Amino acid sequence: MKLAYRMYAGPAHIGTLRVASSFKNVHAIMHAPLGDDYFNVMRSTSERERDFTPVTASVVDRHVLARGSQEKVINNISRKDEEQHPDLIVLTPTCTSSISQEDLQNFVDRASLSSESDVILADVNYHRVNELQAADRTLEQIIRFYLDRARKQGTLDRSVANAPSANIIGIFTPGFHNQHDCRELKRLLGELGVAVNQVIPEGGYLKYLRDLPRAWFNIVPYREVGLMTATLSEREYGMPYISITPMGISNTADFIVQVGKLVNVWAYALLEKRLNYKLYVDNQTKFVSQAAWFSKSIDCQNLAGKEAAIFGDATHAASITKILVKEMGIRVSCSGTYRKHDAERFNEQVQGLCGEVVVTEDHTEVGDTTARIEPSAIFGTQMERHIGKRIDIPCGVISSPVHIQNSPPGYRPFLGYEGTNQVADLIYNSFHLGMEDHSSDVFGGHDTRSISTKSLSTGRSDINWTPEAESEPNRIPGFVRGKIKRNTEVSARRNNILEITIDATYAAKEKSSS
Amino acid sequence: MKTSDILTFECETGNYHTFCPISCVAWLYQKIEDSFFLVVGTKTRGYLSQNAPGVMTFAEPRYAMAELEEGDISAQLNDQKELERICLQVRNDRNPSVIIWIGTCTTEITKMDLEGIAPKLEKQVGIPIVVARANGLDYAFTQGEDTALAAMTHRCPEINPRVMNQQKGDAAKLVAVDVSPSDKLFDEKIGLNKGSLVLFGSLPSSVAAQLNLELKRQSISVSGWLPSQKYNELPALGEGVYVCGVNPFLSRTATASMRRRRCQLIGAPFPIGPDGTRAWIEKICSVFDVKPDGLGERENQIWKILIDYLEIITGKSASFMGDNLLEISIARFLIRRGMVVYEVGIPYMDRRYQAAELLLLQQTCRKMRRPMPRIVEKPDNYSQVQRMHELQPDLAITGMAHANPSEARDIDTKWSVEFTFAQIHGSVNARDALELVTRPLRRGVDSVSDCRRLSRQTLDVQQS
């Protein structure tokens, strides 16, 4: 058992549902108790989704527990088949089904006999994988299923397209700024003369998957989801892939160099010419993206040597670290990710760029580290934003998990050249607010910024509270209690008091109100 | 559609969206200030409790997950030892007055004996441990609170008859201050004959105080609330204590206080809307042999204040998809103000506990000459959406999973979860309740031409 207050990545089935509901006309049926279908709520609110989320539950209740699902799952599958005629129904196991150990594959086999839709069982083990790994697997599973079938039926189109083209793999819902990134990627590829063959899974129809191998190469913009599919197509269909995330000026340039290499492999054979993107990159870097000029401008001078802490998924945390250090001259004291199973690669990416690397799924560890190093700004997830609020440090949100405010209607890509502009804004605004705050402190503001007020850890204090003093903070409304308690401890420490009596609490209160 | 004069109950497939009952933690931890809620379950539950209450969870909550790992489920690890370790950690971190374990589906399926382990650990940890099995196998959304409160009825102190009499004396004295001498005699008479009154249901303290005041106006004093603001202030229960619910989803709590603590239940409509509040007070008065005073005037006064909202809703139609068990009471309130309610979906309908509320609903429909709504237990959301498509109600009251899609299909929607968090009880808060109901109707976004139907699916259909 593990005491956990918050979690970064969700349970496995969320990943499966995210992939399934991103495809067009795919329905997911969860084998889960009532209330576990909150994915629908997340999708319909945080993404402001207009359409009913194609996810239903085959509800596990007491009867199912006692007698097994029996016909229930199969009936639910055939009912959905008749009602909505999906192309594919994905039966999704949850922790409940993994514990109750029902033979879901059997249900799938039986249901697929009678239903017109294809039916598959998502191959994810609840205990072994998290949301992102599960999404990666499910995507690969679906692609493999349809490519294998097309191959068997002889409908697989393996002829390479005449003009340069690419698949974008791993854009899905609800992903952090995925929609905007996708649009920016398409634009970027368009300017490079590369057509987009398919985007999967977002908005993709299964019937077109057989044309997937026609693209010259695959693009996997995010490390989290899509790599398994990309390696599958490399192994079985000889399709190369690019896994560089075009986030930030230098990463985008690297990405374009890769595109150039892969395009030229076929371009020379098919079109008898070589494409050169060097001029394009130069022009974009200098004039379309404002980021390079922005870092050179005197405004950005003020940021030099400022410290930042970064935490998020592997893709965003690594890229933002690189941008801050290499492109804006900001010191990154700490960079971290919650993607533990990708730790090696993350270390490699941020090596030499930051003071320390934190790889953890424990959000209190992130909080304590941030509090200890006291950066001028944090770039992290919504959780880091709240850590920042508590210890009074501004935070820019760069990665999921996120709130609805991180699904902006306005165009906010993180990738490509427009992405560099957006990221520059985000970074600059975070620091700028920090400086304003600082100057208000200097001019007669409150001076409460000492290290001990910033500790987020609980129960690690060397100060004792007498029982009656202990009851004192309990009379204070819950939401400010922690702060007042901390202030009391700070005041006690300043006066070398090691035991807090009721007098000490009042003394501290007087001091803070005066 | 069919209309009838008697209430009809239907039961569908139970394929509906609602929150898992563990989400009750989100409001209960705020209500019981010195508590700590420990949800014993898997990541699935943790992810829910972090996503469902949204922003609230970020504000240093007094709840956490005891996240079960593979070793716990395959019984390689000892449940008791693991829980002990975690509870000690919670004690050191937060020092609560009570730890409430929320059992989940997982603990049910693995048959973890929380009720058996709790008394043992209670001694070792030195903090009371209350076990509430609020799982999605058995319950929906707000019923989570019911399981928690039912578990807490066992922790309420036993009423001491001598203290009770004294309290009553005190109460009579308190009341005597603001009533005329003739009433004073009357009060003492009640004090002698009748027991004390405990209300159950978690309400914000300001709302609880308002209801206390409403009853005090009728010379009835409330001796306590379950839950109380602090765990140590739980009200005394026992023979001779009257209990009355303020929320429609508290049937287990009602049963537990009757059967296990031998209290007497006052079955009343629930104090939602001015009509409900009045009926609730009248019923309590009748039990305590008090002639209610000025209730009719007060109700009329409240309706008068609401006139601007009433203009908006009168004659409009509504459908409830059902997810929090408040549906009957809110529907009754809306019908009283001239709305037509087609359908009331509800996860679970306790016809005994809600008897008075159902009767009031029936009376209200007759009085207002409105058709009786069809009451659908364990609804099927897919069929409901089809019915809604046919009937085109002016307002759909649904869970958040359906709210945006319904709006995109040009059906004004109020998301129902808000009713569980907003202050809707008592006459004073009737305005807040209507504020919620009318919000989608007041928005007036028609000005953007041709933006009524915004669903992508319907667009696809038109194109193909």
Tens of pLDDT along A35-86?
888 888 888 888 888 899 999 999 998 888 888 888 899 999 999 999 999 9
With a pLDDT cut of 90, the percent of chain B lying above it is 60
* CATH code assigned at A502: 1.10.8
End-to-end CA distance of chain A: 46
Domain co-membership, A411 together with A296: yes
Average pLDDT over every residue of B351-376: 95
Confirm or deny that A435 is annotated as ligand binding: yes
Confirm or deny that A482 is annotated as ligand binding: no
Residues 370 to 399 of A: which have CB under 8 A from any B CB? 382-383, 386, 390
Average pLDDT over every residue of B372-391: 93
Q: How many CB atoms lie within 10 A of CB B312?
A: 15
Shortest distance between the Cα of B189 and any Cα of chain A, in A, equals 38
Domain co-membership, A337 together with A429: yes
Domain co-membership, A231 together with A328: no
The answer as to whether A4 is a domain residue is no
The pTM of the whole model exceeds 0.80: yes
Element housing B107 (H / E): helix B105-109
Nearest to A311 by CA among A415, A372, A400: A400
pLDDT classification of A135: cutoffs 50, 70, 90: very high
Give the C-alpha distances (Å, rounded to integers) separating A225 from A134, A175, A210, A217, A229: 9, 10, 20, 17, 9
Is the bond preceding residue A201 a cis peptide, omega within 30 degrees? Answer: yes
The two three-digit tokens of residue A323, written as one number: 């941008």
The two three-digit tokens of residue B259, written as one number: 């059967």
With a pLDDT cut of 70, the percent of chain A lying above it is 89
The two three-digit tokens of residue A212, written as one number: 């997937």
The answer as to whether A261 is a domain residue is yes
Residues forming a β-bridge with B346: B377
Confirm or deny that A15 is annotated as ligand binding: no
Domain co-membership, A504 together with A387: no
Q: How far apart are alpha carbons B219 and B208 in whole angstroms?
A: 16
The range of the structural domain enclosing residue A230 comes to 165-272
Domain co-membership, A411 together with A471: no
The answer as to whether A25 is a domain residue is yes
The two three-digit tokens of residue A432, written as one number: 């700028």
DSSP-derived 3-state class of residue A274: coil
Last residue of a domain, one of A223, A241, A272: A272
Domain co-membership, A439 together with A472: no
Q: Which residue shows structure tokens 């593979």? A: B70
Domain co-membership, A376 together with A302: yes
With a pLDDT cut of 90, the percent of chain A lying above it is 55
Average pLDDT score, chain B: 86
Q: Could B47 and A83 be called an inter-chain contact, meaning their C-beta atoms sit closer than 8 Å?
A: no
The two three-digit tokens of residue B42, written as one number: 């898997």
Q: How far apart are alpha carbons A312 and B98 in whole angstroms?
A: 35
Any catalytic annotation for residue A181?
no
Backbone angles phi, psi at B409, to 5 degrees: -100, 20
**Among B51, B57, B77, beta carbon nearest to A38:** B51
Domain co-membership, A352 together with A475: no
Domains defined along chain B, listed by start: 21-139 (3.40.50.1980), 194-288 (3.40.50.1980), 295-446 (3.40.50.1980)
The two three-digit tokens of residue A20, written as one number: 């399934």
With a pLDDT cut of 70, the percent of chain B lying above it is 85
Predicted ipTM beyond 0.90: no
CB contact at 8 A, A315 and A345: no
Domain co-membership, A268 together with A308: no
The answer as to whether A433 is a domain residue is yes
Give the C-alpha distances (Å, rounded to integers) separating A406 from A241, A333, A361, A388, A484: 29, 25, 21, 17, 31
Catalytic-role residue among A157, A282, A299, A503: A299
Residues of A whose CB is below 8 A from B44 = 11, 13, 32, 36, 94-96
Alpha-helical runs (H) found in A306-451: 314-322, 328, 343-350, 363-373, 382-391, 416-442
Domain co-membership, A392 together with A322: yes
Residue A170 has pLDDT above 70, yes or no: yes
What domain count does chain A have? 4
* CATH code assigned at A379: 3.40.50.1980
The answer as to whether A450 is a domain residue is no
pLDDT classification of A9: cutoffs 50, 70, 90: confident
Identity of residue B372: M
The answer as to whether A157 is a domain residue is no
Shortest distance between the Cα of A284 and any Cα of chain B, in A, equals 35
The answer as to whether A159 is a domain residue is no
Domain co-membership, A183 together with A232: yes
Last residue of a domain, one of A243, A272, A301: A272
Is the bond preceding residue B227 a cis peptide, omega within 30 degrees? Answer: yes
Residue B458 has pLDDT above 90, yes or no: no
Exposure on the CB side of residue B18, measured as CA atoms within 13 A: 35
Tens of pLDDT along A370-427?
988 889 899 999 889 988 888 888 999 999 888 888 889 999 999 999 999 999 999 9
Shortest distance between the Cα of B322 and any Cα of chain A, in A, equals 13
Tens of pLDDT along A216-235?
999 999 999 999 999 999 99
The answer as to whether A150 is a domain residue is no
Residues 49 to 68 of A: which have CB under 8 A from any B CB? 49-53, 56-57, 59-62, 65
Domain co-membership, A260 together with A388: no
Q: Could B94 and A458 be called an inter-chain contact, meaning their C-beta atoms sit closer than 8 Å?
A: yes
Rounded to whole angstroms, the maximal C-alpha distance in chain B is 80
Return the exposure string of A187-226: e unless at least 16 CB atoms fall within 10 Å of the residue's CB, then b.
Answer: ebbeebebebbbbbbbbbebeebbbbbbbbbbbbbbbbbb
Burial class (CB in 10 A: 0-12, 13-18, 19+), A254: middle
Q: How far apart are alpha carbons B13 and B6 in whole angstroms?
A: 23
pLDDT classification of A503: cutoffs 50, 70, 90: confident
Q: How far apart are alpha carbons A481 and A465 in whole angstroms?
A: 15
Tens of pLDDT along B99-111?
999 999 889 988 8
**Among B72, B382, B457, beta carbon nearest to A1:** B72
CB contact at 8 A, A353 and A325: yes
Identity of residue A348: E
